[in-house]
Structure 1
Amino acid sequence: MAGERYVLLGLAPARSSWFRVVAQWANSGTIPAEFVKCVSVEELRARLGSGRPFSAALVDAALTGLDRDLVDTARRAGCAVMAVADQRAQSNHSQADWDQLGVAEVLPEYFDPKALLAALGAHSATISRGDTLPGDGVPEPALARQGLVALVCGPGGTGASTAAIALTQGLAADPRHGTPILLADLALRAEQAMLHDARDIVPGVQELVEAHRTRRPPPEDVRAVAFQVDERGYDLLLGLRQARAWSSIRTRAFEAAFASLRSAYSVVVTDADADLEGEGDGGSFEVEERHVMARTAASQADVVFAVGMAGMKGLHSLVRVLNDLRAFGVAPERVVPVVNRAPRNPRSRSEITAALAALTASATTPPGTRGSAPSPVFLPERRVDEALRLGSRLPDALAQPLAGAFAAVVRRVPTVAAAGPARVEPGSLGFLGGGEHEEAALG
C-alpha cells in the first residue's frame, strides 16, 4: 500500500559502521524505512513505551543491554528485535541461544539492503499512519519438564526458613518425588547461607539470574550453581548477599532462571517473603520488581506453606499472610497453614484450628456458603540449633508432617499450569459494549 514503510529503532556503540550505513539507506530511499537512532538502552525502552508502533529494533550484539528484559519490552510493544553480530559475537552465541533470548533474526556485521529487507519481511510489518501494528518476535521454546514448586513463607520470626529446610529434607527422603530436590533462598534478607553454615556465598541466585539475561544454560549448568547438602539429600541455592541487591534481579531474567530451576529439579522448595505487593496495590512498579522473586514463586507454587506461631499475635500475623496470599490469587486449597512450636495439648490445638477457621472463613468462602479453612499442620517444639550448626538432619517430627501435607495437596489439587500464551476460541470473549445506547448508536 502506498505510504507504508518500516519504522526501525537502532542502538549500537559509537562509530559502528552498520549503524551509519542503515541511516544512509533510509535517508536516500534505498530501503523503504524510517530509521530512529537511540543513544542508550534507556532511550530505546522509552521509545518502545511511547505508544508509537515500530517495525523492528536493530541492536548491536556487543551491547550488554541486549538481554531478555529488553527483548520482552520490545515484544510487548509489538516490535521484533534483530541482533547485528560480528564474528566474535556469533562464535560466542549459538543460534539456539539467540532463539531462546527471543531475537527474531541475527544479521552479520556487514549486510546489504536485500538481506535487511528479507529479514524485515519475515519478522516485521510495515507501518502506515500508525494504524498497523507489527508482529511479535520469535517466542521462546517451552521447556520439556516443569518440576513441582513449594513456597514457604511467614510474617517473620516464626521459623519459616527452618520449616523450609525440614520440608525439603522430608521431600528428599520420599522416593515418590524423584530427584534431585532443591531448596532456593528467594528472601530479600536471605538466611539459608547462615542456617547451612555456607563458607562460600557465591554462586547464588544473583549469578543464576545473570546467566539467564541473554541465554538459557543447560540443566547441568543450572545445577552447578547450587551447593549439595549431602546429609539431608538436597541442593541449596543461596540467596541475595545483601537485601539491596534486589535491583540486580531483572524480572524476565529471573522468570527464565526460575523456569530453568523447575526444568532441572523435580521439586523446587522456595524460602521467600510473605510480602507480595505489586504495582496494582500501591502504584509503584519498583515495589513489584523488589518482590519479583516472591511473586514468581507464589504464582507458580503448587503448595504454599504459611508459617505462624500460636498465641494472639501469632495467629493475627498468620491470618494476615493467608489473606495476602488469597488477594494475590493463590487458590485457598493450595495453602497449608503451619503452626510452629505448637502446644502439645489437643484442646489447645483444636482452639487454634477453630480460631483460624473463624478468622479466615470470610476470606476463603463465598458469601452465603459454609466452608472450612484448611487444617493447619502443627509442628512441635524441637531443639534444632545444634542440628543446624552441625549440618545434620532435622528431626523427622518436623520434616514428615510437612512432606505429608505437600503430597496430600499435590494429590488432591491439579498442578499449576506453566505461564504462557493460551489459545482463545473465536467468539468466546464476546464483544465490547453491548448496552442499549451502543446498540442504538449502531442502528
Structure 2
Amino acid sequence: MSTARYTVLGLARPRSAWFADLGRWATSGSAPLDFVRCVSPEEVRARLASSRPFSALLVDGTLPGVDRDLLDTARSVGCAPLVVSGTGRDWVAMGAAGTLPVDFGRGDLLALLSDHAPSLAEVRSLATIGLEDGDVEADWSGRLVAVTGPGGTGASVVAQALAQCLAEDPRSAGHVLLADLARRADQAMYHTAPDVVPGVSELVEAHRAARLEAAAVRTSTFAVAARGYNLLLGLRRQRDWAALRPRATDAAVAGLLQAFRQVVADVDADVEGEAETGVIETEDRNLLARTVLGRADAVVVVGHAGTKGLHSSVRTIEELVEFGVEAARLVPVLNHAPRSPRARAELTKALGDLGASALGVELAAPLFLPSSRRLEAGLRDVGRLPTSLGSPVCRAVVAICERQLLPPTGGPRPVTPGSLGGFASDRAAS
C-alpha cells in the first residue's frame, strides 16, 4: 500500500458534486490528501505563488477562467494540473497532465495523482514537473518572418510587399498570411478593412481554452485578392494588449504556422521584459513582439538611409541580439535609399562598422529599397505593390530560411583503419 500523501488545490463551480466528495474524502482520511478550496482563478494563482508546495491542481473545465495560462502557471511551480471535464475538449493538448470525468471515484483520482503528481515529500524539492503530452505542437510548421523597425521607417509597407512576393510562389499560393501583431496596428487602415473583427484579440481568446483546427484559424483572416495573401487584423486599440495571455498568445502563433505556409508578422521592436526593467507589465505589453521575434525564422529590420536612420537601425539590431535573435537571422533593410552606387557603398560600410563596434559580429550587407512613384497608388487602391520593393527582401528571407534547413556540418571525426576499404589493385594482389 502506498504511503504517499498529496496536497491538492481545487477550483470548481459552487455545489459541484465532485468538489464536495473531494472535501469529504480529505476530511475523513479516506484519501491521503490535503484539500484546499479556491473560489477564483486569481486565488489559485496567489496560492501557487506562495511558499507552500502543492502536488496538483484540480479544476473544473467548464469554468471560464480555466485556460492555458492557468495550467502553465501550475506546471511552472511543480504542481500537476488536472482537469475535470465532461466535454470532448483536448485538455492534455493545452497543458493538462490528465483529465477526469465528472463522476470520477476515489480510486480514479488516486491513480491519476500517482501517475502525474509528486507526493508532498517530493514536491518540496521539485522546481518543475515534466508532462509527457502537454501542449505538443504539430510536426509540421510554416515559416515565420518578422518585419520590424525603430518606427516610422515603412516597415508595415515592406511587410506587405514581402507577403505579396512570397504569395507569387506557386507552392505557397493561398497559404501566405500577413499578420498585424504591432501594438499600434495599421494594416487595417492600409487595406481599408471593412470589418474590425475578427482579429488577433479574438484569435488569442479562442486559443485560451481550445486548440483550433487550421480551417478555423483561417476563418479569422481576410483574403487580399489583389496581392494573393490573407490578412490577420491587429489590435483595435493599443491598450488591448492587456487582455492577451502568454500561453494563449504562443498557441495562437503556433496555430497560424500550422494553417499557413508563410507567415509575415508586422511587429514592434520593443522586446524589454521583466528581467531588463523589473516590471512584469512591461513584458506583458511587449508580449506579441517577444513571442514572434523569439521564434521567427528570419527578422527583417527596416531603417532609413541616413545618419539618424543608421543609428536607429543599429540600436534596434543590438536590442534584438541581446534579446536572443541570432545575427545570422537578421536582414537589415534601408528604405528610401539613394540610387548612387557610391552612396550605397558608404552606407554599407557605415552600417558594418557600427554593427561591429556595437555587437562584435559582422552583419549582413543591407538591402536598399529605392523610393517608388507607384507606391502610393498601390497603397491607396490596395492594388499590386512595386516588385522592386519586395523582391530583394524576399530573396534574402528565402535564403536564410533555406540555410536553416541544411543539416549541421560537424567537425572532423576519427576513422577506424581499414573501415574505408582499399584500392582494387591491392585487393587483387591479396
Whether TM exceeds 0.5 here: the answer is: yes
Pairing 1:407–2:402 present: no
1:41-440 equivalences under 5 Å are: 41-85=41-85, 90-91=86-87, 93-94=88-89, 97-128=90-121, 131=124, 133=126, 135-137=129-131, 138-175=133-170, 179-365=174-360, 372-383=362-373, 384-414=375-405
Contact 2:78 2:123 in 1 (8 A): no
RMSD: 2.1
Report the Cα offset of residue 122 of structure 1.
2.3
Partner of residue 421, structure 1: none
Q: SS at the partner of 1:375? A: coil
Contact 1:84 1:109 in 2 (8 A): yes
Contact 2:174 2:228 in 1 (8 A): no
Q: Kindly provide the CA deviation profile for residues 181-220 of structure 1, in whole angstroms up to 9, marking residues without a partner as x.
A: 1110000000000001101111011111111111111001
C-alpha distance in 2, partners of 1:182/1:130? 44
AA matched with 1:365: G
Choose 203-212 or 137-146, whichever is displaced more: 137-146
Report the Cα offset of residue 62 of structure 1.
2.1
Q: SS at the partner of 2:248? A: helix
C-alpha distance in 2, partners of 1:400/1:355? 24
Choose 258-267 or 52-61, whichever is displaced more: 52-61
AA matched with 1:107: L
Contact 1:301 1:416 in 2 (8 A): no
C-alpha distance in 1, partners of 2:266/2:346? 28
Report the Cα offset of residue 126 of structure 1.
1.9
Q: Kindly provide the CA deviation profile for residues 117-171 of structure 1, in whole angstroms up to 9, marking residues without a partner as x.
A: 1222222232138645484444222312111111100111110000000011111
Q: SS at the partner of 1:128? A: helix
Structure 1: give runs of 5+ residues left out of the alignment.
Answer: 367-371, 418-443
Contact 1:204 1:240 in 2 (8 A): yes
C-alpha distance in 1, partners of 2:180/2:122? 50
Q: Kindly provide the CA deviation profile for residues 297-351 of structure 1, in whole angstroms up to 9, marking residues without a partner as x.
A: 1111111111111221111111111111111111111111111111111111111
C-alpha distance in 2, partners of 1:408/1:106? 45
For residues 290 and 68 of structure 1, do their structure 2 counterparts lie closer, same or farther at Cα, with a shift above 3 Å needed? same
For residues 243 and 115 of structure 1, do their structure 2 counterparts lie closer, same or farther at Cα, with a shift above 3 Å needed? same
Pairing 1:16–2:16 present: yes
AA matched with 1:78: G
Contact 1:333 1:413 in 2 (8 A): no
C-alpha distance in 1, partners of 2:328/2:6? 50
Q: SS at the partner of 2:63? A: coil
Q: SS at the partner of 2:164? A: helix
Q: SS at the partner of 1:53? A: coil
For residues 118 and 412 of structure 1, do their structure 2 counterparts lie closer, same or farther at Cα, with a shift above 3 Å needed? closer
Contact 1:3 1:128 in 2 (8 A): no
Contact 1:182 1:234 in 2 (8 A): yes
Q: TM-score, normalised by structure 2?
A: 0.89
C-alpha distance in 1, partners of 2:252/2:187? 19
C-alpha distance in 2, partners of 1:391/1:265? 22
Q: TM-score, normalised by structure 1?
A: 0.87
Q: SS at the partner of 1:73? A: helix
For residues 135 and 288 of structure 1, do their structure 2 counterparts lie closer, same or farther at Cα, with a shift above 3 Å needed? closer
AA matched with 2:317: L
C-alpha distance in 1, partners of 2:122/2:186? 55
Partner of residue 430, structure 1: none
Contact 1:308 1:315 in 2 (8 A): yes
Structure 2: give runs of 5+ residues left out of the alignment.
Answer: 409-430
Partner of residue 425, structure 2: none
Contact 1:326 1:363 in 2 (8 A): no
Contact 1:302 1:415 in 2 (8 A): no
Contact 2:78 2:129 in 1 (8 A): yes
Contact 2:55 2:123 in 1 (8 A): no
Percentage of matched positions with identical amino acids: 49
AA matched with 2:20: R
Report the Cα offset of residue 223 of structure 1.
0.9
AA matched with 2:272: E
For residues 335 and 42 of structure 1, do their structure 2 counterparts lie closer, same or farther at Cα, with a shift above 3 Å needed? same
AA matched with 1:57: L
C-alpha distance in 2, partners of 1:333/1:110? 55
Contact 2:76 2:129 in 1 (8 A): no
Contact 2:148 2:300 in 1 (8 A): yes
C-alpha distance in 1, partners of 2:171/2:221? 22
Contact 1:79 1:136 in 2 (8 A): no
For residues 52 and 340 of structure 1, do their structure 2 counterparts lie closer, same or farther at Cα, with a shift above 3 Å needed? same
Contact 2:92 2:99 in 1 (8 A): no
C-alpha distance in 2, partners of 1:132/1:357? 49
Contact 2:48 2:74 in 1 (8 A): yes
C-alpha distance in 2, partners of 1:98/1:304? 33
Task: Give the count of matched residue pairs.
Answer: 405
